[in-house]
Structure 1
Amino acid sequence: MIYTVRGPIDKTQMGKTLAHEHFSWISDEDFASKMYFDKQYDESYTQKLFDKVLPILSELSASGCQTIVEASPPLGGQNLKLLYDLSYKTNVNIISCTGMNITKYAHRIFQENFEVQLAKKWIQDFKEGLDVIDDVCIKPGYIKLLFDRGGVNAVDEAMLKAAAIACNATGMPIHCHVLEAEHMPKVITILQKMKVPPHKFVWAHADHEGHLETILQVVEKGYWVGFDGIREGTYESRKKLIEHAITYNYSHQVILSEDYDFCEESEKKNGIERYCAFFNVFIPYCIKNGIPQEVIESIIIENSARFYDI
Structure 2
Amino acid sequence: MIYTVRGPIHKSQLGVTLGHEHMKWEDDESHANTMYLDKRYKEEEILSDKNYILPILLDMKARGGMSVAEASPPIGGQNVRLLKLLSEQADIHIIPCTGWNMTKKLYDVFPMQFEEQLANRWIKDFKDGLDTIDGVVIRPGHIKLLLDKGDLSMADKGMLVAAVKASKETGLPIHCHIMEAKMVLQVIQVLDAEGADYHKFLWAHADKEADKVIIKLAAEKGMWLGIDSIRRGTSPVKYELLKNIISLNYGHKVLLSQDYDFYSEGKESLTTHPCTTIFDEFIPYCAEHGIDKQVIIGMMTENPANFYDVKN
Q: Scaled by the length of structure 2, what TM-score is found? A: 0.97
* Contact in 1 for aligned 2:55/2:270 (Cα 8 Å): no
Aligned to 2:106: 106
Deviations 1:170-195 (A, max 9, x none): 10000000000011011011111111
Give the direction of change, closer, same or farther, for the CA distance of 1:290–1:270 in structure 2 (3 Å limit).
farther
* Post-superposition CA distance 1:30-76 (Å, at most 9, x none): 10111001100101111111111111111111111100000000010
Runs of 4+ in 1 over 2 A off after TM superposition: 267-273, 292-295
Residue 292 of structure 1: how far off its partner (Å): 2.4
Other structure's SS at 1:175 match: strand
2:119 match: 119
| Alignment match, 1:60 | 60
Identity %: 47
* SS of structure 1 residue aligned to 2:268: coil
Aligned to 2:76: 76
Q: CA deviation at 1:272?
A: 5.1
- Give the drift of 1:271: 5.9
Distance 1:45 1:179, change over 3 A: same
1:113, CA displacement in angstroms? 1.8
CA distance in 1, matches of 2:282, 2:243: 14
Deviation at 1:280, TM superposition (A): 2.3
Shift of 1:295: 2.2
Contact map agreement 1:24 1:264 (CA 8 A) in 2: yes
Matches within 5 A, 1:216-227: 216-227=216-227
Query: In structure 2, do the counterparts of structure 1 residues 85 and 204 end up closer, same or farther at CA, with 3 Å as the change threshold?
Result: same
Provide the residue aligned with 1:186 in structure 2.
186
| Counterpart AA for 1:215 | I
What's the secondary structure of 2:160's corresponding residue? helix
Secondary structure, counterpart of 2:8 in structure 1: strand
Find the residue that maps to 2:260 and give its secondary structure: coil
What are the residue-to-residue correspondences of 1:153-168 with 2, within 5 Å?
153-168=153-168
1:183 alignment partner AA: M
Secondary structure of 2:24's counterpart equals coil
**Which residue does 2:95 correspond to in 1?**
95
Deviations, residues 248-291 of structure 1 (Å, cap 9, x unaligned): 11001100100000111012246655111211221121111100
Amino acid across the alignment from 2:226: G
2:215 counterpart residue number: 215
Cα offset for 1:149? 1.1
Aligned to 1:171: 171
Residue type of the partner of 2:217? Q
**SS at the partner of 1:68?**
strand
Decide whether the 8 Å contact of 2:265 with 2:273 is kept in 1: no
Q: Secondary structure at the match of 2:264?
A: helix
Q: Which residue of 2 aligns with 1:241?
A: 241
C-alpha separation in 2, matches of 1:137 and 1:57 = 23
Residues 169/271 of structure 1: CA separation in 2 closer, same or farther (3 Å cut): farther
State the shift of 1:300 in Å.
Answer: 0.5
Q: How many residues align?
A: 310
Question: Which structure 1 segments of 5+ residues have no match?
Answer: none
1:297-308 aligned at under 5 Å gives the runs 297-308=297-308
Aligned residues of 2:176 and 2:204 also touching (Cα < 8 A): yes
Q: Deviations over 1:135-159 (max 9, x none)?
A: 0000000000001111211100000
Tell me, which stretches of 5 or more residues in structure 2 are unaligned?
Answer: none
RMSD: 1.0
